[in-house]
């Protein structure tokens, strides 16, 4: 069987389709983004009696939310000892309670809404070559279902010498879950418009007006931006987060796959969970992480996952599916959720690769903020915070790196071969009449050329051969070979060389 370059979740689910916006709209709340945060927020608010419009740039769950591992767990790696050290026991306890509560909230939504999404319960493990006794003790003290476990309990041969087990965690099919949320939102009276990218948000008096790429505008009393990163330069979050890309494969082992979820505390990070669609031997493996646009050979990330599986089970495997997902990390390990500084617009970003639970927490905060209610987690996730001294130092280092990438990335663009040398399935930088252009020849022999400069803030783009995308290492925007926007903060397609 050939490997399909597509998320296993998108390949095994049919999502409802919605029209693009065709005329100007008015509503109480506009939600921008059809991932887990946007859909959950929209559903919550519509159920509260507000009139909600949701705009999605592509399809519901098309990007990060539909490309996750589908793990619904409060075990976010070996994070809790670090959270106590960075933020103190009270805030670490809040984070633990918020995310464990989100596990149960998602399970409750699935039950109440009757969503068929392969939801199952099971243990989750984090393992390490180091002693994880303190992590287990801290997590238990914070009220989590944690205990120290032997590495053999993970089901991964010869991995680590210590493990922490969280019981009664959840796994699901994320695309089917999102489709269920979308249907429930529509049944409650909400409106969804796909293929309706928001290109600008303009707060005027007591309302916010959104301009879409297809023309019509939406006027709302409140606006929630639930995109991967807020669009454009809103709130300056592009300078307060870092974009990270992970890669995934779905494989069939020669033996029964481990029943629980696992993640390594040590680098390189490997995250696994059972794959029900692959039968009892089905396994999903995610890892190969790197900053978006930082790797020259992105195919190597997939090879590393395949080799890791082969080394554990002494076998050659051919993945059924392979895919990647992007997310943003924050310097203090906590997401940003709430009002954007100096703006009435609400945002949620920086889920640190744990968007199913953190995103569900975020949706509750966003709902309560719109409705003028107190939320127990809003201060912890405060979108306007600067962070501690360590976080500030990280921000300074990251932005110096971005500046270096901006300058050096343009200077090192030595002209390559001419466009007549682009092979089928190949992409990269090429020479066109003395200018450097980005080019890709698809498998039908069509040549796509673009100006390889990000339309967000002008950073140089790098070709990602593993995913056939143009990626920005400065702030994480990603573009298809034809230049269309896949992930923001950019909202404008890449220019063409002849424009």
pLDDT at 499 over 90: no
pLDDT at 428 over 90: no
Number of continuous H segments (helices) and E segments (strands) in the chain:
8, 24
Q: Is residue 453 within 8 Å of residue 498, measured between CB atoms?
A: no
pLDDT at 262 over 80: yes
Residue identified by tokens 């617009």 is: 345
pLDDT given at position 447: 85
What mean pLDDT is predicted for residues 304-330?
A: 95
Phi, psi of 420 (to 5 degrees): -70, -5
Strand partners, 211: 200, 217
- Residue 88: how many CB atoms within 10 A of its CB? 10
Q: Is residue 136 within 8 Å of residue 147, measured between CB atoms?
A: yes
Q: How far apart are CA 185 and CA 445, in angstroms?
A: 42
Confidence of residue 444 (pLDDT cuts 50, 70, 90): confident
**pLDDT 10s digits, 75-129:** 999 999 999 999 999 999 999 999 999 999 999 999 999 999 999 999 999 999 9
Residue identified by tokens 């943003």 is: 328
Q: Is residue 361 within 8 Å of residue 99, measured between CB atoms?
A: yes
pLDDT given at position 394: 57
Q: Tell which wins on pLDDT, 424 or 181.
A: 181
**Dmax over Cα atoms in the chain, in whole Å?**
65
DSSP 362: H
Q: Is residue 227 within 8 Å of residue 205, measured between CB atoms?
A: no
Chain-centre distance for alpha carbon 4: 20
pLDDT given at position 141: 98
pLDDT at 278 over 70: yes
pLDDT given at position 292: 84
- Residue 342: how many CB atoms within 10 A of its CB? 11
Which distant-in-sequence residues (6+ apart) come within 8 Å of 286 by Cβ?
Answer: 69, 246, 247, 248, 270, 271, 272, 305
pLDDT given at position 368: 98
Confidence of residue 390 (pLDDT cuts 50, 70, 90): low
Q: Which is nearest to 296 in space by CA: 470, 462, 481?
A: 462
pLDDT given at position 397: 52
Q: Is residue 262 within 8 Å of residue 125, measured between CB atoms?
A: yes
Q: How far apart are CA 285 and CA 261, in angstroms?
A: 10
pLDDT at 414 over 60: no
pLDDT given at position 403: 52
pLDDT given at position 297: 82
pLDDT at 163 over 90: yes
Q: How far apart are CA 454 and CA 471, in angstroms?
A: 8
**pLDDT 10s digits, 181-236:** 999 999 999 999 999 999 999 998 899 999 999 999 999 999 999 999 999 899 99
Q: Which is nearest to 182 in space by CA: 350, 59, 26?
A: 59
List domains and CATH numbers for the chain. 13-67+176-240+332-387 (3.50.50.60), 389-499 (2.102.10.10)
- Joined together, the tokens standing for residue 42 give 């929209």
How many residues comprise the chain? 499
What mean pLDDT is predicted for residues 237-260?
A: 94
* Average pLDDT score over the chain: 91
Confidence of residue 388 (pLDDT cuts 50, 70, 90): low
- Joined together, the tokens standing for residue 5 give 């370059």
Q: Is residue 199 within 8 Å of residue 212, measured between CB atoms?
A: yes
Coil/strand/helix, residue 368: helix
- Joined together, the tokens standing for residue 136 give 């287990």
């Amino acid at each position: 069987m050939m490997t399909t370059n597509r998320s296993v979740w998108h390949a095994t689910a049919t999502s409802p389709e919605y029209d693009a916006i065709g005329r100007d709209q008015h509503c109480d709340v506009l939600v921008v983004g059809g991932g887990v945060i946007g859909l959950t927020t929209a559903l919550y608010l519509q159920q509260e009696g507000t009139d909600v419009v949701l705009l999605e740039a592509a399809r519901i769950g098309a990007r990060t939310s539909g490309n996750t591992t589908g793990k619904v767990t409060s075990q976010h790696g070996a994070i809790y000892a670090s959270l106590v050290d960075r933020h103190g026991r009270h805030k670490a306890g809040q984070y633990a309670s918020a995310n464990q509560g989100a596990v149960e909230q998602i399970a409750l939504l699935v039950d109440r809404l009757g969503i068929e999404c392969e939801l199952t319960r099971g243990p989750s493990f984090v393992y390490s070559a180091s002693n994880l006794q303190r992590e287990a003790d801290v997590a238990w003290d914070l009220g989590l279902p944690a205990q120290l476990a032997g590495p053999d309990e993970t089901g991964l041969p010869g991995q680590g010498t210590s493990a922490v087990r969280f019981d009664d965690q959840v796994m699901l099919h994320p695309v089917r879950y999102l489709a269920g949320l979308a249907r429930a939102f529509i049944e409650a009276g909400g409106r969804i418009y796909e293929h309706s990218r928001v290109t600008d948000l303009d707060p005027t008096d007591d309302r916010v007006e959104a301009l879409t790429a297809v023309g019509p505008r939406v006027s709302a009393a409140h606006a929630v931006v639930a995109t991967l990163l807020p669009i454009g330069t809103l709130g300056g979050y592009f300078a307060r987060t870092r974009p990270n890309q992970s890669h995934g494969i779905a494989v069939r082992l020669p033996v029964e796959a481990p029943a629980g979820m696992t993640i390594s505390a040590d680098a390189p990070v490997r995250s696994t969970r059972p794959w029900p669609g692959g039968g009892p031997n089905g396994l999903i493996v995610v890892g190969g992480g790197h900053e978006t646009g930082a790797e020259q050979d992105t195919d190597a990330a997939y090879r590393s996952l395949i080799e890791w599986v082969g080394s554990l089970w002494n076998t050659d495997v051919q993945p059924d599916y392979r895919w990647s997902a992007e997310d943003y990390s924050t310097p203090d390990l906590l997401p940003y959720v709430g009002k954007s500084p100096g703006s009435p617009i609400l945002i949620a970003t920086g889920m640190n690769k744990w968007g199913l639970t953190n995103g569900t927490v975020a949706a509750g905060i966003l709902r309560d903020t719109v409705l003028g209610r107190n939320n127990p987690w809003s201060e912890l996730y405060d979108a306007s915070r600067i962070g501690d001294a360590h976080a500030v130092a990280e921000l300074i280092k990251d932005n110096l790196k971005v500046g270096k990438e901006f300058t050096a990335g343009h200077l090192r663009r030595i002209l390559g071969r001419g466009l007549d040398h682009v092979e089928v399935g190949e992409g990269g930088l090429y020479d066109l009449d003395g200018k450097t252009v980005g080019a890709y020849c698809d498998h039908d022999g069509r040549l796509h050329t673009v100006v390889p400069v990000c339309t967000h803030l002008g950073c140089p783009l790098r070709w990602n051969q593993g995913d056939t995308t143009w990626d920005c290492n400065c702030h994480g925007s990603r573009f298809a070979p034809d230049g269309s926007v896949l992930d923001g903060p950019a909202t404008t397609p890449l220019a063409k060389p002849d424009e």
